[in-house]
Structure 1
Amino acid sequence: MTPTFLTYPDPLSAVAVRVPEVDSTVRLSLDAVRGRRAGVDGAWWPYSRDAAAELPGLIAAVDQRLGRTTLRVEVRMESWENVPRQIPARGRRIRVGRFHGSDPRLITLILSDGEPIVLLVIPPDTIGGGAGTALGLTARDAAHLCATLRGA
């Protein structure tokens, strides 16, 4: 699987005035084979730990790549700063579930068909080579993703 990189013409502020376009620089890799229950469905490497700034781009990219609509996002509070209760999205607002105690390396998006998409979050401060390798691996290689991050 090859990761797909999408581009934003300019960065989002903490209070996004407009909804992100799908041509963003979201560093996201999704498993091409959905429906099989691997540990994770892909990896995401955000630029910061600011959830309000990062989540709109992730939601737009996942919606575009999967051709589905994200209805809810679940984040682990220990991993993020500035976590809003809702995120703007195209024609709607997405509810953000805030959890404690779960694996802080994961984020879950719930799609309109009820299917969860679980992503391994590569820490923003991860050195490029290790993060790039992790993004290039498939969800089937979830153990390798975690091992790659621990070694970076």
Structure 2
Amino acid sequence: MDGAWWPSSCDAAAELPGLIAAVDRLLGRVTLRIGLHGDVWQNIPRRIPARGRQVRIGWFRHTDPRVITLSFAAGEPVVLLIVPSGTAAGAAEATLKLTAQDIGGMSIDAILTLAHLPADPAPRATADGSARWEDEGGSIIGQAARPSTGRPTTSE
């Protein structure tokens, strides 16, 4: 984990341009590709325009839904923990501060536990309206289900 990001929404087309610009500026590198979990985001474009180039967006279902990966022409990719957009400010800020420290070797679950955030990925709603954990298939009792985004939408 190289840091954290707290987007304002789950709308990839709206949120990714700001992330790309900030990472390019802060690291002095040029983001070429972003990988994210396809079920967590809405309105996922195939490409995002950024400073004279198109950043390719790849969506996957086999990656951890709690992270986003930015790749560059040279060097290691950057992996950011995603602080869910609906997170309370105090918990989100704690997560951002924690990931700004040396967290080498800490698991995502450990980071989220220290920041007082749920360690499990958010449940998704199934076709029948019940919530299920993505990795287990078990029901969630007593929690509101997050609507499934289904297949990502694209715009070019």
Residue number in structure 2 paired with 1:145: 111
Indicate yes or no: 2:70 matched with 1:104: no
Q: Distance in 1 between matches of 2:101 and 2:47?
A: 28
How far 1:150 moved relative to its partner?
1.6
SS in 2 for 1:150: coil
SS in 1 for 2:79: strand
Residue number in structure 2 paired with 1:73: 34
* Greater per-residue helix proportion: 1
Q: Which runs of 5+ in 1 are unaligned?
A: 1-39
How far 1:101 moved relative to its partner?
2.5
How far 1:140 moved relative to its partner?
3.3
Check the 8 A contact 2:7/2:15 in 1, yes or no: yes
Q: Distance in 2 between matches of 1:108 and 1:92?
A: 18
Q: Distance in 2 between matches of 1:91 and 1:129?
A: 37
Indicate yes or no: 2:85 matched with 1:124: yes
Residue number in structure 1 paired with 2:152: none
Check the 8 A contact 1:51/1:80 in 2, yes or no: yes
Q: Distance in 2 between matches of 1:112 and 1:139?
A: 26
Query: Number of paired residues?
Result: 112
Q: Distance in 1 between matches of 2:44 and 2:74?
A: 25
Residue number in structure 2 paired with 1:90: 51
Task: Give me the identity figure in percent.
Answer: 53
Query: Greater CA radius of gyration, 1 or 2?
Result: 2
Indicate yes or no: 2:7 matched with 1:46: yes
Q: 2:96 aligns with which of 132, 135, 152?
A: 135
Normalising by structure 1, we get a TM-score of 0.69
Residue number in structure 2 paired with 1:5: none
Q: Which runs of 5+ in 2 are unaligned?
A: 120-156
